[in-house]
Amino acid sequence: MEAIQQLRKKYEALRSEPKVVKTEWGFDIYVFPLTVAEASKLQKLAGNEDLSSLIDILVIRGKDSSGNPLFTEDQKEEIAEIVDPKRLAEVIEQMVKDVEQEFGESDLKNS
């Protein structure tokens, strides 16, 4: 078995147990183990105090039960216009707990 196939097999098994974030929005958000690509995107957002970064996190990390994105980049402006920032912050807080545990909050802020 090629190395890439072994990596894929290992991480597909890990992705079979996503974290489920319950929302009041009528759907659940599934948060799968962080990938290098997602971590890279999140590090670029670290330290950004702008509320739009919360929407970026929702778009990057928010998946359905099959691992498909719930939102697209094209929907970010619409999300900004309809979602309560306090509720969004609460959801994002639940979503990013795994990131802080895996990398440590200081690691994310040092990018």
For strands 28-31 and 19-22, give the pairing.
antiparallel
User: How confident is residue 110, by pLDDT bands cut at 50, 70 and 90?
Assistant: very low
Alpha-carbon span 62 to 31, nearest angstrom: 6
pTM: 0.78
Of the candidates 33, 47, 54, the one whose C-alpha atom is nearest the C-alpha of residue 102 is: 33
| Predicted confidence (pLDDT) per residue in 38-75, tens digit | 889 888 887 777 888 999 999 999 999 999 999 999 99
Residue 10 lies in a domain: no
Q: Total structural domains in the chain?
A: 1
Average pLDDT in the chain: 85
Whether residue 1 lies inside any domain: the answer is no
Q: What is the mean pLDDT of residues 78-101?
A: 88
Q: What is the pLDDT of residue 107?
A: 45
The residue to which tokens 């957002």 are assigned: 45
Q: What is the domain-level CATH number for residue 71?
A: 3.30.2220.20
Which of the pair, 31 or 10, is modelled with greater confidence? 31
Which is nearest to 29 in space by CA: 55, 75, 65, 56? 65
For residue 99, give its domain range.
Answer: 18-109
